[in-house]
């Protein structure tokens, strides 16, 4: 079992939509980058939402573009034990302090939960914040049920 820790949030004062994943996968943790696995469709979805090809950009520019478009990124889970990258393998989870983040950044109007595990962990730790939330289909390659076109329709804001 590996000990996993989430990254710091990518957020600024202009952020209005907070996108929360569960916990970065192995590739993301190795690269110290959100959604680093090349098969994850997150950056393709965000390219659609930002109307700019983020996939071909370096990571720093991707994050800057998200922030310019009023998005923020973080994870529901601060730390956990996990073998591999699957959310179903997460054990001993501890949540990030999302309430504190929302107090610090009061412009957040909506929270998008990327996948079932992000949703279930958020619901467990922050049930009072659920009215701000929308559960989204996971952009993970493990979510084979959703092809890219279907993801884009679901994620369209």
Active-site amino acid positions: 40
Alpha carbon distance 95, 125 (integer Å): 7
Helix (H), strand (E) at residue 125: helix 116-125
Alpha carbon distance 114, 28 (integer Å): 15
Q: How far from 81 is each of 2, 33, 69, 151, 157, CA to CA, in Å?
A: 5, 19, 33, 29, 33
């Amino acid at each position: 079992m590996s000990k996993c820790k989430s990254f710091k949030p990518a957020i600024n004062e202009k952020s209005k939509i907070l996108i929360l994943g569960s916990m970065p996968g192995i590739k993301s943790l190795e690269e110290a980058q959100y959604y680093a696995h090349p098969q994850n469709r997150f950056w393709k979805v965000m390219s659609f939402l930002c109307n700019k090809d983020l996939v071909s950009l370096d990571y720093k520019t991707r994050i800057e573009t998200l922030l310019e478009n009023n998005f923020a990124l973080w994870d529901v889970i601060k730390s956990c034990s996990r073998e591999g990258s699957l959310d179903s393998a997460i054990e001993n989870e501890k949540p990030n302090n999302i309430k504190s983040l929302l107090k610090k950044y009061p412009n957040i109007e909506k929270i998008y939960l990327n996948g079932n595990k992000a949703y279930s962990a958020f619901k467990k730790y922050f049930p009072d914040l659920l009215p701000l939330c929308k559960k989204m289909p996971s952009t993970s390659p493990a979510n084979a049920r959703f092809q890219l076109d279907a993801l884009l329709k679901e994620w369209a804001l």
